[in-house]
């Protein structure tokens, strides 16, 4: 049988046409995806997922790092340029291998992921993903929206900038995956911050896949949300701080080993805390507040930074189950207020076996105060100490007649009773700032603990500055 060559060519052309149409349809439905890429200095728009003709990334038009489907992807998104567009949106389901903010040129970027970008969906991190700010970055970096750890995965957030304000901020926090066996969140880096982690949570109600939180390196991370993870919390370096709604209610063991847990709000946990190996518990909001409450507290070679208030005494640490006090516990009373005469304060309450008073020493009082030896009230189950001002508090009025320094050597004050008598300040003098001052600039040269601070100005404006601070009540 003879076959026409014209017919064969025609069939080939038809097949080629069909194939071209199919390829075009696939391309329209699946925009091209790059491997790792860098956000451009002059991108076309603010969309992470670039349209086929849109050039936002270093890998060319229609490309982007990461994927809109699947649960695993190794692409790294880099942000190194001083860009004309610094707010980037990527709503909807997505997966990526990590983020890197690098170089002194990097702008202050804000990346809106998941529902924060206007669409719902889960933003997943590849296993062992790293979200990092390098040492040379000079601007704050922010990711809005929640990121999810890979199944049985680990996520690392590292903030290493040598510029304190160039922080890493994960406002929506991180969640453990709802599949696999566990999740682990690392917070690291050397940046002094504060770097922000919204909250570390688990999926499901009740959750069945639990998460572990580990703080490493010398930097500062702040937890601003309710961290509901059910595995251990390990603070192994630098400072982990609870602020605002920050809480760790479910973690079975909170270990502070050679690091600091800073509680600027309050902490309540029925479980177990260990503070050891030069670890520290720092309470920075100790006036008129709820004390720290913990089920079992084990401590040795540890420092508790506490405060006392003569007007409203309170117990700094409430142990509801067992206080296991080993050797080398320092009670650093950093804050003293409203204390005109000596008073005995309950610093720790406990149940069960009485601790040895020899386990405790007291340091860190502001100048002008002294403390006696620690005693243990075995009847009321209290660890107590008596704090005494070294002199009776006077009332002083600021004049600033010599210079602007609030210190303990310059006679920038007058006695409130004998206004012609120039005085120097000493803790715990009461201080008054009114309209009679010659100088309205007050430079704090150290940390001071006045009995109170009364600002009664109407015509004189005051500016308080300097490297020091005031601890105590304001009137």
User: Could you report the per-residue pLDDT of 200-228, keeping only the tens digit for each?
Assistant: 999 988 999 999 999 999 999 999 999 99
Q: Please give the C-alpha separations between residue 297 and each of 113, 291, 294, in angstroms, as whole numbers.
A: 40, 14, 7
> Where residue 194 falls among pLDDT bands split at 50, 70, 90?
very high
Partnered with residue 157 across adjacent β-strands are: 131, 187
Provide the pLDDT for residue 33.
55
Provide the pLDDT for residue 266.
87
Residue with tokens 């049985």: 152
Q: Which of 8-17, 232-241, 426-435 has the highest mean pLDDT?
A: 232-241
| C-alpha to C-alpha distance for 438 and 435, rounded to whole angstroms | 9
Residue 394 vs residue 186, higher pLDDT: 186
Provide the pLDDT for residue 270.
86
Asked whether residue 471 carries a pLDDT value surpassing 90, the answer given is no
The predicted-structure confidence for 99-108, as pLDDT tens digits, reads as follows 999 999 999 9
Least confident of 12-16, 160-164, 282-286: 12-16
Count of residues making up the chain: 475
User: Cβ atoms within 10 A of the Cβ of 297, count?
Assistant: 25
Beta pairing class for 369-371 and 382-389: antiparallel
Which token pair is 334? Answer: 């950093």
Provide the pLDDT for residue 287.
56
Q: Please give the C-alpha separations between residue 262 and each of 57, 256, 288, 345, 442, in angstroms, as whole numbers.
A: 40, 11, 17, 22, 29
Provide the pLDDT for residue 169.
98
- What is the average pLDDT across 433-447? 95
Asked whether residue 31 carries a pLDDT value surpassing 90, the answer given is no
The predicted-structure confidence for 306-357, as pLDDT tens digits, reads as follows 999 888 888 999 999 999 999 999 999 988 888 878 999 999 999 999 999 9
pTM of the predicted protein model:
0.81
Provide the pLDDT for residue 12.
44
pLDDT over 90 percentage in the chain? 75
Asked whether residue 29 carries a pLDDT value surpassing 50, the answer given is no
Partnered with residue 89 across adjacent β-strands are: 47, 112
Provide the pLDDT for residue 285.
73
Contacts of 3 (CB under 8 A, 6+ apart): none
The predicted-structure confidence for 133-172, as pLDDT tens digits, reads as follows 999 999 999 999 999 999 999 999 999 999 999 999 999 9
CA dihedral for 41, 45, 46, 47, sign (positive or negative): negative
Residue with tokens 């982990």: 240
Which token pair is 52? Answer: 């086929």
* Backbone torsions φ then ψ of 95, nearest 5 degrees: -145, 140
Provide the pLDDT for residue 472.
62
> Where residue 461 falls among pLDDT bands split at 50, 70, 90?
very high
């Amino acid at each position: 049988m003879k076959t026409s060559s014209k017919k064969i060519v025609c069939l080939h052309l038809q097949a080629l046409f069909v194939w071209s149409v199919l390829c075009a349809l696939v391309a329209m439905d699946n925009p091209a995806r790059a491997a790792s890429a860098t956000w451009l200095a002059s991108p076309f728009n603010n969309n992470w997922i670039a349209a086929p003709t849109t050039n936002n990334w270093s890998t060319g038009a229609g490309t982007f790092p990461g994927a809109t489907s699947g649960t695993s992807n190794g692409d790294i998104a880099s942000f190194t340029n001083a860009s004309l567009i610094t707010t980037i949106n990527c709503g909807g389901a997505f997966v990526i291998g990590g983020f890197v903010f690098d170089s002194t040129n990097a702008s202050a970027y804000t990346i809106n992921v998941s529902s924060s970008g206007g669409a719902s969906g889960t933003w997943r991190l590849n296993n062992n993903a790293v979200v990092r700010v390098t040492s040379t970055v000079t601007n704050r970096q922010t990711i809005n929206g929640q990121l999810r750890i890979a199944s049985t995965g680990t996520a690392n957030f590292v903030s290493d900038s040598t510029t304190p304000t160039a922080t890493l901020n994960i406002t929506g926090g991180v969640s453990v995956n709802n599949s696999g066996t566990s999740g682990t969140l690392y917070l690291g880096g050397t940046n002094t911050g504060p770097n922000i982690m919204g909250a570390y949570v688990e999926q499901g109600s009740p959750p069945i896949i639990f998460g572990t939180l580990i703080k490493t390196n010398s930097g500062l991370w702040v937890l601003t949300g309710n961290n509901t993870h059910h595995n251990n919390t390990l603070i192994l370096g630098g400072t982990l701080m609870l602020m605002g709604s920050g809480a760790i209610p479910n973690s079975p063991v909170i270990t502070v080993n050679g690091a600091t847990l800073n509680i600027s709000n309050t902490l309540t946990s029925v479980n177990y805390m260990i503070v050891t190996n030069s670890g520290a518990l720092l309470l920075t909001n100790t006036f008129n507040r709820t004390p720290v409450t913990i089920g079992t507290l084990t401590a040795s070679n540890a420092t508790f930074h506490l405060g006392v208030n003569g007007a409203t005494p309170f117990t700094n640490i409430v142990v509801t189950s067992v206080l296991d006090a080993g050797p080398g516990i320092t009670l650093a009373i950093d804050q003293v207020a409203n204390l005109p005469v000596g008073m005995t304060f309950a610093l720790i309450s406990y149940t069960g076996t009485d601790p040895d008073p020899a386990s405790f020493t007291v340091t860190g009082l502001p100048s002008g105060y002294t403390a006696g030896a620690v005693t243990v009230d075995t009847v009321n189950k209290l660890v107590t100490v008596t704090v005494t001002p070294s002199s009776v508090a006077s009332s002083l009025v600021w004049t600033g007649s010599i210079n602007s320094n609030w210190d303990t050597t310059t006679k920038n004050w007058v006695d409130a009773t004998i206004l012609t008598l120039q005085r120097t300040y000493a803790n715990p003098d009461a201080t008054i700032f009114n309209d009679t001052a010659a100088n309205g600039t007050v430079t704090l040269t150290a940390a001071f603990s006045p009995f109170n601070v009364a600002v009664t100005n109407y015509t004189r404006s005051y500016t308080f500055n300097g490297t020091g601070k005031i601890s105590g009540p304001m009137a």
